[in-house]
Structure 1
Amino acid sequence: FINDSVPAVRNSEPVVISAEPGKEVTITCTFVDDSSADVRMWYKQRLEHVPLEVGSKFKDKDPVMSPRFKQTRFKIDRIVNGISLRIEPVTKEDEGMYFCGLGRQNSMDFSAATILAITVNLLALIPVTLKCTVMSEIRAADLRVLWFRAAAGQSFPEIIYTHQNSSSRQCEISSSTSCSLYEFSKNIIDHNHTGTYYCAVAACGKIIFGNGASVELSKLFCVLLGTHVVCIYLQTLYISTLKFVKQIKEAGVGIHVVRL
């Protein structure tokens, strides 16, 4: 648990705090006198990006979170002479500079900034390598191989990597068919890197997806020691292929995920 308080002072140096993924972070800012304020607001800004409104708290009303931050991880609370922002659990994507604003009828005062840095224990990184075999009657140089990830709750998978043609390796297959092996390596840090990973081939005006591999983290188990229950959180990686080695053939292209 990290709690940081920043006073509302113009042109002051930012405060830097750090936290590990999965922890709780609470940032607070206070003003000398906020009794006449109409609204109190939180903002987040990343390098080379415009500030984003995290949420706001109007007088005598409940806090309202902006669409991008409408998650149960973010919570705004009113405190004495100020406002707080709690993030739990914190993730790598939460890195950035946070500051709050106090809005009156004709003015807006801003607090000093807090820079939130997410630190990662390198010993906790879990490397994983996904392998995709592409069998095709088309030359490997004419194929475009991509990797996608679909996180839990996402409607569509997002593209995360595109292979250059030179990154493939030849594998043994009949002389009538071209066979190339593609690998994608990634360090799994937290739940933001889990989900279902797919390799896909773009050829002949179509994109053909492989079967996918599900990557999951964490198991929680509890044991009884004397009169106390102790719960242990395991950072364990679970990978399972979906419909393992089911070959797809369309437009002269066949794809399957060989193994993980």
Structure 2
Amino acid sequence: MEQLFTFLLLLFKLCEPFNSIKTYDIIQETGIRAANAGETVTLPCSCQHNAITYFFWYQQKLGHKPHLISNRMKHSKESIISPAYKDRFQVLSEPEEGLNSLMIIDLQPSDSGTYYCVILAFNAIEFGQGLFLHVKAASSNSQLLIQQSTLTPLQIGDSLNLSCSVSVEPCKGEQSLYWLRHTASQPSLMCPSAKSCIGLKNGPLHGVNCTSNLELNSVTSLDAGTYYCALASCGMVVFGEGTNVEIFLAPSFLVYVLGVAVVISIIGLLFLSFLRNKLKSKLCMSCAGKENQTENLHYAALNIKRKPEGQQQEDNHFSACVYSTVKSRKE
């Protein structure tokens, strides 16, 4: 039994460093990053945890599952690139520094999607927060046809209502609308959106017009950010201009907080004033006690009788009264 306990303890200690790996251990750029078609971009990633055995990169396009781009062992500089990405994707690695960055050459609109830096440790896979890469086409009229609603600042507890209107030409592939949120401190949030579409037969536009709404009830400060309406159509992704959502504390809540602060301040001032008066009263009583302890003078008359005639002449003088002071302190 003791040997079994020792074995389990050793196994727990062995697994402990692997289980402690968290998403925040993976240092990866998050949010939304825009780039133009034809450019070269590098997506940085690093992780220096001792338990890592493999590094991976995954790409997830809108509405699709993640696809493996590359994998390499921690202590190796050589990476295995999947055939679909071999021509334009490279991995920049520094095993000593835990560096595993992804470089994409000659960007294409179809490269738009979320890129995840992934690690493997003791058969446990951990994904980074992910970065959405938006590749803008060199020339696209569809981008001008996405219109998003404007929004006034909201208060905590309000409802968020965003609308998006997209006019596109029909194509063979599936056309889908998504909402993405971008903030500086949080990973991008992707929400598939239901759409209603009608055909456009008259006017300068031909094709379909689709509308989408995004609704959130009882918003909090975490819902703030820039919301983009994104269209996945014909192998490319087109973004709207974005709607900036600002969320503030409700005035009533601020008034309540300020009111409580004022009440607490008044109570504190009253308490300090009470202590001051009480201390002053004690000091005055002490001073009054000292004043009452004044010195009392008692006078005593000493009668010196005349000496007989037989004594020396210098003693022959009249009686004199000598007054002596005696101090008496009142107890």
- TM-score (norm: length of structure 1): 0.41
| Bigger RCO (CA 8 Å, 6+ sep) | 1
Larger radius of gyration: 2
Greater fraction of residues in strand: 1
TM-score (norm 2): 0.33
